[in-house]
Structure 1
Amino acid sequence: MKIALVLPNVPAYSETFFKNKILGLQQSGHEVLLYVNHSKAPNSYLNCKVVKAPVLNRNQLFVAFNLFLEFVKVLFLNPAKSFKLYQLNKKDEISFSQNLKQILANQFLLSEKVDWLHFGFGTMALGRENVATAIGAEMAVSFRGFDYYVYPVRNKNCYSVLFAKKVKYHVLSEGMKKGLMANGIKGEVIFKITPAIDIEIFDARESIKSDTIQIKTVARLHWIKGLEATLEAVSLLKKEGIDFHYTIIGDGVEKERLQFAIHQLGLNDNVTLAGKLSSEQVKEALSKADIYLQYSIQEGFCNAVLEAQAMGLLCVVSNAEGLSENVLDNQTGFVVAKQNPLLLFEKIKELLQLPENKKQIIGDQAVLRVQKEFNLEKQQKEFLAFYTE
């Protein structure tokens, strides 16, 4: 088969989810084509044809020239597909002006004959709901946490057109599947394929401990990750006189806000914002940790929690969406109600008081579950089944 993935960018080498999927499909003899908005990452390790979207958001002269080129494609390269897309959009009662914009903006998606057109994020299918039919391809859409739980909050009914189409859906969690079914999508067209990690990289063999309790989080610095509430919880550890150090690995728009919160809570000596690190650096940091925290307000699933469990760390997570499927409460870690710093503090304190043999059992169970359920080979097989069954 020829499978086209619609993504924001060419996946970087470190982006395990898409990289593993693409390589697995290629190893099984399928051709993978990438439609992207930008092409920042090198493509040499993927060996995929890359088709870039036209740039329609710069100065007016530049945009006008690109629109002219797309109009030429409508007339001479894709007239039949463009007309079919126009008719399908018109049937959905899309206005003439919006219809024309969609036809011009989506010319790059009409350029190839493919078997599957798979939108890697739900939001990337918006305004493109009829493109797959126009080119005679099957349509697939992947929903992640932001697509399903955040974007529709400020964009009501944004998926109403999409949900009326013939689509095969990929989701990260059982909770997300139930959410789609509540919107009238039949369960047989929704496939749960969770993230997976390289269990050869993240393993539990190395462990470097210190007298000070080491707590880690890997997350982009964004309000959705619940980092302010996490800081409030660890500030209560300090008030209890518990000797700890908390390291947040990642970067993002909320860095200055978090720096201020650290100062206000008197945690300058207890908290480090380590910035973005490589996979090897993350592994090294986790090897020195006692506890891993992921107290997100919303989370589709979270690879970082899988990596921490694979290394045998004691994980405490919020009950935000996929996290309660990622970590089994009191079996492979601990799940706490979100947005309640006091509850998080109490759970960390309770964890610290557990007998060492109990900690070891939970850590071992986490390692075994990740190795069995969240390995790259299993994920590749599930994606092959997604397209063929």
Structure 2
Amino acid sequence: MNYTVAIYSGNIPSTTFIENLIEGMSEKGLRILLFGKKLKDVSYKENVEIIATPQSELPLILFVIKEAGKLYFKNRNKLSKLLTSVKARNKSFRYFVKDLGAILPILNAAPDIFHIQWAKTLQVYPELMQLLDSKIAVSLRGAHINYSPLNDPELAEAYRSHFPKVDAFHAVSNAISSEAQKYGAVSNKIYVIHSSVRDSLLTGDVHPKIKGTKLEILSVGRFHWKKGYHYGLDTMKMLKESKIDFHYTIVAQGDVPEEITFLMNEYDLSNEVTIIPGLQYGTLIDKLKSSHVLLLPSVEEGIANVVLEAMAVGVPVITTDCGGMNEVVTDEINGFIVKVRNPEAVAQKISALLGKTENELSLMTSHAREKIRNEFSRQGQIEQFHSFYNKLATE
């Protein structure tokens, strides 16, 4: 079956999971188009074509003139509608040209399937829904669905306007699928395809280690209120009061919030807590493997990749029951799961972890790895996306 898929995130290259999708679909032989800002040189297979929009002013203007000319000869009525719409929502000439530079090459290429990776794109470039003669697919991910529309009424209204017209949705979890339906996403057009982990993480033996050593607790994720790090520090205070020998490391990009600094001082945790401002992927995995437990204290998530990675490499996990995490972790079977905003429950689970025998821990981490192997493998994800695109292309 021959068809063209545009995988659109706006940046080239994009995030790891989107790059994995591009690589996987190119391996399946699909013709892939990538649009947006080219952040750096990247090598893809020959069936992946990059159509980059220039970012500096003069090259961008020349690019827009060229692409507008193409569309004029293809469909001058469509060009007229595009210019009218983009001009109406842009008072600045600079942003008018910038938006045209993003939209025009997509309209000219007219792929069979246009797969939007970030749902907010529907609000940023509404003309894609109005003028693009392609099947439209939208991925439903984390913050874009779980809380951004709650804080932004205009975004919520854009979703309500556009979601009923989308041809198919990819959801990272059943939980996020349910959330999207509140904004008009049609349930029988939503396909749940979980994230995947790298195959290399599923190799090697699993030997969890707890007894006789200082408990090394790790949390990973950018500094944001939804990550719940203050609840994590509340738990560390309880562990210290219980005389548990531990060290808590937070690997998080961004400035350390004042609240976190205050709590570390207030709870006298300067010797027990270390904050690392981000790590390269390989170094992060090494840090994960050397930890005794991964803690996800989040208030909101889709499905946290770091939990999948911990389960794959055999590190016990304690997670809050947020987003789609209960689709991954079953309490006391392949990890521990607690209610959100409940540091006392987290402390209890850490105590339960410390009380496990070596055989009990090995069984738990074996179940965790098997869960990842069966439901979150890269090959499984590739096959599901290929079926997703095939079905959409033939409808």
The Cα shift of 1:89 comes to 10
The 5-angstrom pairing of residues 70-109 of structure 1 reads: 72-73=65-66, 75-79=68-72, 80-81=74-75, 83-84=77-78, 87=81, 97-98=88-89, 101=96, 106-109=103-106
Q: Aligned pair 1:131/2:125, yes or no? A: no
| 1:235-256 deviation per Cα after TM superposition (whole angstroms, max 9, x unaligned) | 1101110001111223123356
Amino acid at match of 1:98: R
For 1:385 and 1:133, locate their aligned partners in 2 and report how far apart those are by CA, in whole Å: 26
Q: Which position in structure 2 is the counterpart of 1:2? A: 4
For 1:95 and 1:276, locate their aligned partners in 2 and report how far apart those are by CA, in whole Å: 38
For the structure 1 residues 175 and 75, does the alpha-carbon distance in structure 2 shift closer, same or farther, using more than 3 Å as the test? closer
For 2:274 and 2:306, locate their aligned partners in 1 and report how far apart those are by CA, in whole Å: 18
1:313 aligned residue (306, 315, 332): 315
Q: Flag as ranges the 4+ runs of structure 1 deviating above 4 A.
A: 65-71, 85-90, 99-105, 206-210
The Cα shift of 1:87 comes to 4.8
Report SS of the residue matched to 1:276. Answer: coil
| 1:134-166 deviation per Cα after TM superposition (whole angstroms, max 9, x unaligned) | 342111111111110121012222312212313
The Cα shift of 1:297 comes to 1.1
For 2:364 and 2:328, locate their aligned partners in 1 and report how far apart those are by CA, in whole Å: 14
The 5-angstrom pairing of residues 8-87 of structure 1 reads: 8-11=10-13, 15-36=15-36, 38-45=37-44, 48-53=48-53, 55=55, 62=57, 69=62, 72-73=65-66, 75-79=68-72, 80-81=74-75, 83-84=77-78, 87=81
What is the total number of aligned residue pairs between the two structures?
A: 376
For 1:291 and 1:228, locate their aligned partners in 2 and report how far apart those are by CA, in whole Å: 18
The Cα shift of 1:280 comes to 2.2
CA contact (8 A) 1:223 1:254 kept: no
Report SS of the residue matched to 2:200. Answer: coil
For 1:268 and 1:160, locate their aligned partners in 2 and report how far apart those are by CA, in whole Å: 47
For 2:40 and 2:207, locate their aligned partners in 1 and report how far apart those are by CA, in whole Å: 33
CA contact (8 A) 2:208 2:292 kept: no
**Identity percentage of aligned residues:** 26
Amino acid at match of 1:190: I
Q: Which position in structure 1 is the counterpart of 2:366? A: 364
Amino acid at match of 1:120: Q
| 1:14-68 deviation per Cα after TM superposition (whole angstroms, max 9, x unaligned) | x4422221122111211111112x322431145533233464xx9xxx4xx6785
CA contact (8 A) 1:207 1:288 kept: no
Bigger mean CA offset, 258-267 vs 361-370: 258-267
Report SS of the residue matched to 1:216. Answer: strand
The Cα shift of 1:357 comes to 2.9
For the structure 1 residues 161 and 184, does the alpha-carbon distance in structure 2 shift closer, same or farther, using more than 3 Å as the test? closer
**TM-score normalised by L of structure 1:** 0.87
For 2:281 and 2:189, locate their aligned partners in 1 and report how far apart those are by CA, in whole Å: 34
1:110 aligned residue (104, 107, 111): 107
For 1:162 and 1:292, locate their aligned partners in 2 and report how far apart those are by CA, in whole Å: 38
For the structure 1 residues 237 and 149, does the alpha-carbon distance in structure 2 shift closer, same or farther, using more than 3 Å as the test? same
Bigger mean CA offset, 348-357 vs 297-306: 348-357
Amino acid at match of 1:123: K
Report SS of the residue matched to 1:77. Answer: helix
Bigger mean CA offset, 231-240 vs 270-279: 270-279
Amino acid at match of 1:72: I
Bigger mean CA offset, 140-149 vs 356-365: 356-365
For 1:316 and 1:159, locate their aligned partners in 2 and report how far apart those are by CA, in whole Å: 33
The Cα shift of 1:262 comes to 2.1
The Cα shift of 1:73 comes to 4.4
For the structure 1 residues 340 and 99, does the alpha-carbon distance in structure 2 shift closer, same or farther, using more than 3 Å as the test? same
Amino acid at match of 1:187: S
For 1:106 and 1:6, locate their aligned partners in 2 and report how far apart those are by CA, in whole Å: 11
For 2:215 and 2:76, locate their aligned partners in 1 and report how far apart those are by CA, in whole Å: 61
For the structure 1 residues 340 and 204, does the alpha-carbon distance in structure 2 shift closer, same or farther, using more than 3 Å as the test? farther
For the structure 1 residues 77 and 337, does the alpha-carbon distance in structure 2 shift closer, same or farther, using more than 3 Å as the test? same
Report SS of the residue matched to 2:317. Answer: strand
Report SS of the residue matched to 1:316. Answer: strand
Q: Which position in structure 1 is the counterpart of 2:198? A: 198
Q: Which position in structure 2 is the counterpart of 1:237? A: 239
Cα-Cα RMSD: 2.8
Q: Which position in structure 2 is the counterpart of 1:273? A: 275
Q: Which position in structure 2 is the counterpart of 1:327? A: 329
The Cα shift of 1:347 comes to 2.2
**TM-score normalised by L of structure 2:** 0.85
For 1:356 and 1:215, locate their aligned partners in 2 and report how far apart those are by CA, in whole Å: 18
**Where does structure 2 lack aligned partners over 5 or more consecutive residues?**
none
**Where does structure 1 lack aligned partners over 5 or more consecutive residues?**
none
Q: Which position in structure 2 is the counterpart of 1:293? A: 295
Q: Which position in structure 2 is the counterpart of 1:179? A: 179
Relative to its length, the structure with more helix (as a share) is 2
CA contact (8 A) 1:229 1:341 kept: yes
For the structure 1 residues 70 and 280, does the alpha-carbon distance in structure 2 shift closer, same or farther, using more than 3 Å as the test? closer
